[in-house]
A and B are shown apart, each in its own frame.
Chain A
């Protein structure tokens, strides 16, 4: 597997598409909990995947190293590790390095070498650049220039674990029962084209942003070209990747609120915009005018997470499923409601978010429920 740019796309398809199961669970009080429920829930949606990819993102994972970027790296060969470690020593201060504990088991095939490093980037006194931008740059550099190396997680106090297999098998492989976090997202994959590659499983990550995705983004071609104008290189050729970079651009670099980001990615229809009050209409119109190239068109459900926040979003005409539920401080987001009720039979509220209407869980804030009439309306219809 020499071509790290295209390992997941050996037939050079325009983009790698897949259908999937998604599950996310967050305790907005910040309480840490094990991944057992997340694994059970995603396993319950076994049939939505085909064993060619499973993965998890965990936040609040490394409290002892919370100030360091945690790099999770796949090595497809010994020389890759040697070269990468030279690169890491040049570019970062590495405070700890270790092999990620695993358990070999059937159903999880061809695992690469899996290591993690806790690092801080070395400042170049000649350059004015933030730590985050430096890490993004170095991760992209490593992934595109060092053969057989793939950095698949690069945030602080969080980590991605992913590979080939059904998600429950991948969880077992990574011994996820040993970890705790306040926010878990997970993904079971059904790729439509190639036998998967370990790096091609979800979640996709940059810094502490992760994205799990179900769907196919028909606007991928222009989304990618739009992001290229802003310096992003879509090396993976998966539509999920554009979602991750779009979120990074809008929220981190342009400083837009999450709700505004959702308005861009899943814009309201013009006929809805035309009925909005003046000020809102003006804002939504301006966003669509400026960011039309980032509108994600076609069927998708996304669970986007970063430190302290989990966002569920489905496309503007809701062509992929998304369920949400709340119990106390815990917010659940899932492809299927059955997965939620399996792990939490006594949920307090559940609802089906509308297309383009984000479900947001934020650390330290109560979960925002949909408008009351909306809930009643849907409950009246019968859930």
Chain B
């Protein structure tokens, strides 16, 4: 974790994980991790020294020993995985304060760090607090006796989903028997899992390519994030959601034309109401060209879109994008899940959006103020339930597709989200873990040892798009199989029969009020 002074909105990246002190005061912080090495196993190959991008390993030539700088270790386990003799173990550094359930070590260390720097604490990835996960308090149904469960290995099981605005009614011309209703653009996905917005610049070009390839292999979509799309990835345009965010980086006619779906980013679950800051160090020539900014300048995304201060302004941008693309592409609006999401979503639907993307409090980020990440927004489960119900109460659920993001860990979470009412989900963290991410939360440093959240040429090469795409595709394939198994167990063979079908959910350990908000009964009822 590092610290940015007097820059509360900054998403900062530094070239090192080392804390940067503003005056020469001694730090009271102890290393988070301890690198332990079996000297008997170590063959001095120095692979760990090569792999560690945080400077936590070095070779002492005089002693012929590999040594560690524990302070620099972020716990990413790159060295552990690559050590040919399994000589390395990363352990928590045992700083055992007197037990205190309230003033936990993390609290003490955060205060200490701020006392030493006077800055906003910056971190990466999603909320790591033990907040209630409602997914873990919802059970799914299965068929017994009165209707048969269906075996997806032997019978068709349909996950195909269309994203886009649906009409309330379809007309058939009585004279000709032909379709009389022209539908808004509908985008077919073969599995209800999309890849979340991760911008080129925040992640490497190889990560972008891996996600694009995986989306193409799976028949689904990946999201460019707010940094534009590198021209070499235009060929994956049919599997691309092109984001238009507050910085308008990389937004130009060709970018809009190659994409399948356009998305206006209003907010992000990891940092609702907060802009972004990609520091000049990460703005390489390629990133600069793609973003249409000078090389080496900071890329600042304002907190709001400065042409959207109201819902009618949003409507103007939605229709500006539709006009620009001749009404051939659905326009999505992504918001962070917040207290009035239901009313906000209703406004977005009425403003002309085709898709609403909701991002919950567990949503991830490359960099965000820690206090924002861990405290702003609401759980995605509650947001899905209230938005879906609100749109239905107003009779406008058909007008938009709902996509949820923010912490989907497995196919069970996805299936429950669909039963609560979404059309599809975005996954970000899970896709990165498939590539090697170990959730060390050092993305904001730009030094990701796994070559994911970096624009460093050498580190970027650590991700081979062919292999990474296959790993991501494998993950989503596996989840799709599992979703089919769960649908079959419920006696359902089409995903739209589960969507919003909350009778297939039961709560365990929920208060009656929580169950009511989620629109579910309790187990045993």
Using a CB–CB cutoff of 8 Å, the interface residues on chain A facing chain B are 12, 14-15, 17, 19, 192, 215-216, 218-222, 225-226, 228-230, 254-257, 260, 267, 269-271, 279, 282-283, 285-293, 295, 297-299, 316-317, 319
Contact = CB atoms under 8 A, between A and B. Distances in A.
A192 B147 CA distance: 11
A271 to B, nearest CB: 6
A298 B494 CA distance: 10
Contact of A257 (B143, B172, B181): B172
Given A216-B147, A291-B170, A230 B493 contact: no
The 7 closest A-B pairs by CB, nearest first: A221-B503, A292-B496, A219-B497, A297-B497, A221-B501, A222-B501, A216-B147
B162 interface: yes
A192 B392 CA distance: 31
A299 B177 contact: no
B498 A222 contact: yes
Interface of B is mostly: loop
16 contacts: A17-B147, A218-B147, A218-B491, A219-B498, A220-B503, A221-B500, A222-B500, A225-B392, A229-B395, A255-B171, A256-B170, A270-B156, A290-B183, A292-B497, A293-B500, A297-B491
Nearest to B166: A290
A254 B525 contact: no
B118 interface: no
Contact of B497 (A254, A269, A286, A295): A295
Contacts of B164: 289
Given A222-B498, A222-B501, A295-B494, A289 B186 contact: yes
B216 interface: no
Contacts of A254: 169-171
B24 to A, nearest CB: 64
A183 B109 CA distance: 81
A317 B148 CA distance: 11
Interface residues of B, number: 46
B503 A289 contact: no
A185 to B, nearest CB: 23
A158 B521 CA distance: 39
A15 B525 CA distance: 12
B281 interface: no
B13 to A, nearest CB: 43
A286 B395 CA distance: 19
The winner among B148, B181, B497 for most chain A CB atoms within 10 A is B497
Interface in B485-512: 490-494, 496-504
B146 A289 contact: no
B155 interface: yes
Contacts of B186: 285, 289
Nearest to A269: B156
Contact of B392 (A228, A282, A290, A319): A228
Nearest to B159: A270
A40 B173 CA distance: 42
A257 B172 CA distance: 8
A299 B395 contact: no
Contacts of B492: 218-219, 297-298
Nearest to B502: A221
Contacts of B169: 254, 290
Given A12-B525, A19-B146, A221 B504 contact: yes
Nearest to A272: B156
B419 to A, nearest CB: 8
B398 interface: yes
B496 A319 contact: no
Given A225-B500, A269-B156, 20 more contacts: A14-B503, A215-B147, A219-B497, A221-B502, A225-B501, A229-B397, A230-B395, A255-B172, A256-B170, A270-B158, A271-B156, A282-B179, A283-B178, A283-B179, A290-B168, A290-B170, A292-B494, A297-B494, A299-B491, A319-B147
Contacts of B525: 12
Contacts of A220: 501, 503
Contact of B170 (A17, A221, A287): A287
Nearest to B156: A269
Specify which of A219, A260, A288 lies most central, judged by the most chain B CB atoms within 10 Å of its CB.
Answer: A219
A15 B150 CA distance: 20
Nearest to A249: B169
Nearest to A190: B146
A292 B183 CA distance: 14
Contacts of A226: 500
Contacts of A229: 392, 395, 397-398
Contacts of B145: 192
B167 interface: yes
Given A271-B156, A316-B493, A286 B181 contact: yes
Nearest to A192: B146
A316 B395 CA distance: 28
Contacts of B174: 255, 257
Contacts of B183: 286, 289-290
B92 interface: no
Interface hub of A218, A257, A316 (most chain B Cβ within 10 A)? A218
B353 to A, nearest CB: 17
A319 B179 contact: no
Given A12-B525, A289-B166, A319-B147, A222 B156 contact: no
B415 to A, nearest CB: 14
Contacts of A19: 146
B392 to A, nearest CB: 5
Nearest to B147: A216
A286 B501 CA distance: 21
Nearest to A257: B172
Nearest to A14: B503
B247 to A, nearest CB: 34
B497 A257 contact: no
B137 interface: no
A196 to B, nearest CB: 16
Contacts of B504: 221
Contacts of A291: 170
Contacts of A255: 171-172, 174
Contact of B172 (A192, A218, A256, A270): A256
Contact of A297 (B148, B168, B493, B521): B493
A124 to B, nearest CB: 24
B499 A292 contact: yes
Contacts of A15: 503
A285 B143 CA distance: 28
B392 A218 contact: no
B496 A295 contact: yes
A305 to B, nearest CB: 22
B166 A298 contact: no
Contacts of A297: 491-494, 497
A317 B158 contact: no
A317 B395 CA distance: 31
B160 interface: yes
A269 B186 CA distance: 18
Contact of B156 (A17, A221, A317): A317
A285 B496 CA distance: 13
Contacts of A269: 156, 158
A226 B397 CA distance: 9
A220 B499 CA distance: 11
Contact of A298 (B172, B491, B496): B491
A200 B499 CA distance: 28
A267 B498 CA distance: 15
Contact of A218 (B143, B166, B397, B500): B143
